[in-house]
Amino acid sequence: MKKLNFLLLLALFFCFNSIDLNAQNVNIPDANFKTFLIGNETINTNGDEEIQESEAVAFIGGIRCLDLAIKDLTGIEAFPNITSLYCSKNELTSLDLSQNIKLKKLYCASNSLKNLDLLKLVHLEILACYENDLSSLDVSQNTKLRQLSCSATQLADLDVSQNINLKTFDCNGNQLTTLDVSKNVNLERLGCSENELTSVDLSNNLKLKYFECYDNKLTDLDLSKQLNLKSLSCDGNELTTLELSQNVNLKSLDCYMNELTSLDVSKNIALEEIDCSINALTSLDFSNNVNLERVDCSDNQLVRLNMKHTNVEELSAKKNKLTCIEVDDPAKTKENENVIDGTASFSTSCPK
């Protein structure tokens, strides 16, 4: 009898111990995600065919499961101490990060996410969720955000008033009709192209260096306070004027396909490249732009073009009304039918 009781107790011990061991395994239903985790020696420290909860809790680094055809990231909740997650270019339709409260970096771009709950990720500093199916995005609790990229989604509205630490903000390719960046005083890069914006107020964004707003419906653009601006892309709008006299650090300018009738870049001596094609310009003077290397002023109504003192290597000035282009040395300037109309020539002094 004693022997029978002993065997019964021993069987119960092994039974409960087996149940306990199974309970310690993380549930990872997606085979591709599980294969990735098992193959990661810094996560799967005992080298078996499962990920134990103890292994998941002990892992402190980042998880990089990019482009692995993962459809379900269930199991990520068992990793409460990860600080970064790279899961872009997969097939995710949902993502629950409510337990990953220490995340600082989240890259979940190029999936099929329809919702993204970030309310508990108060430590988040970098978020890249572009190329998803998001129709809304709440970043009000993510006050430590420094970089936000949510381009090519379906956002019609986006509130970034609480994100005063933002330095880089890209919301290109959405359906935004308004954009308030007045509280984002630390912005250095802003991309809001391919939206439905009719105006953008940058009066508080004094640190802005790179600004893209192409393919909107802007009729006016005030850049008088952007003294640090280095690059501007405002092509594909409805601008009739563009005042750049305060932007003396500007190096790159794309303002093609607008309705500009005049353009003064005489104060922009740092300018290296400009594309002002497809406008209604009649005269351009680049003689102060000694650093200029590339110019596209084709498809205008130019009758005067001054290229003196420049070092332009690439020029496109076709489809204008030019007969003479002023340069320092006509002999060293190639008259190429691919860059100018056949009626135009180069000279040190053109008729007024």
Which contacts (CB < 8 Å, 24+ apart) does range 210-213 have? 212/172, 213/237
Strands (E), the chain: 62-64, 84-86, 105-107, 126-128, 147-149, 168-170, 189-191, 210-212, 231-233, 252-254, 273-275, 283-285, 294-296, 304-306, 314-316, 324-326, 345-347
Helix, strand, or coil (residue 16) = helix
Among 14, 17, 25, which Cα is nearest to 50's? Answer: 25
Q: Mind listing the pLDDT tens digit for each residue in 161-178?
A: 999 999 999 999 999 999
Note whether 84 and 62 are within 8 A (CB).
yes
Residue 194 lies in a domain: no
Confidence of residue 197 (pLDDT cuts 50, 70, 90): very high
In a domain, 322, yes or no: yes
pLDDT at position 74 over 90: yes
Residue 43: inside a domain: no
Let me know if residue 315 belongs to a domain. yes
Instruction: Give 25's DSSP letter.
Output: B
DSSP 73-139: -TTGGG-TT--EEE--SS--S----TT-TT--EEE--SS--S----TT-TT--EEE--SS--S----
Q: What value does the mean pLDDT take over residues 132-142?
A: 97
Tell me the C-alpha distance between 311 and 228, whole Å: 24
What is the number of domains present in the chain? Answer: 1
Residues with Cβ within 8 Å of residue 126, at least 6 apart in sequence: 104, 105, 106, 107, 145, 146, 147
Closest CA to 100 of 66, 131, 73: 73
Q: Considering only the C-alpha atoms of the chain, give the largest distance between any 2 of them, rounded to a whole number of Å.
A: 121
Question: What is the pLDDT at residue 70?
Answer: 98
pLDDT band at 338 (very low <50, low <70, confident <90, very high): low
pLDDT at 19 over 50: no
| pLDDT value of position 12 | 44
Average pLDDT score over residue span 294-321: 94
pTM: 0.90
Distances (CA, A) of 80 to 42, 65, 254, 288, 334: 16, 17, 46, 58, 65
Q: Is residue 304 included in any domain, yes or no?
A: yes
Q: How many residues does the chain have?
A: 352
Determine which of 60-74, 209-223, 326-340 has the lowest per-residue pLDDT on average.
326-340
**Angstrom distance (rounded) from CA 273 to CA 348:** 22
Residue 34 lies in a domain: no
Tell me how far apart the alpha carbons of residues 346 and 352 are, in angstroms, rounded to a whole number. Answer: 14
In percent, how much of the chain has pLDDT > 90? 86
**Gap between the Cα atoms of 151 and 162, Å rounded:** 19
Question: What pLDDT is stored for residue 335 in this prediction?
Answer: 57
**Does residue 107 register a pLDDT over 60?**
yes
Cα separation, 93 vs 132, whole angstroms: 9
Q: Is 70 exceeded by the pLDDT of residue 18? A: no
Domain range for residue 325? 218-352
Query: Could you tell me the pLDDT band of residue 17, with boundaries at 50, 70 and 90?
Result: very low
pLDDT at 334: 62
Judge whether residue 304 has pLDDT over 70: yes
Instruction: Establish if 94 belongs to a structural domain.
Output: no
Residue 18, domain member (yes or no):
no
- Would you state the pLDDT for residue 2? 45
Condensed to tens digits (0 to 9), the pLDDT of residues 205-244 reads 999 999 999 999 999 999 999 999 999 999 999 999 999 9
**CATH number of the domain that residue 239 is part of:** 3.80.10.10
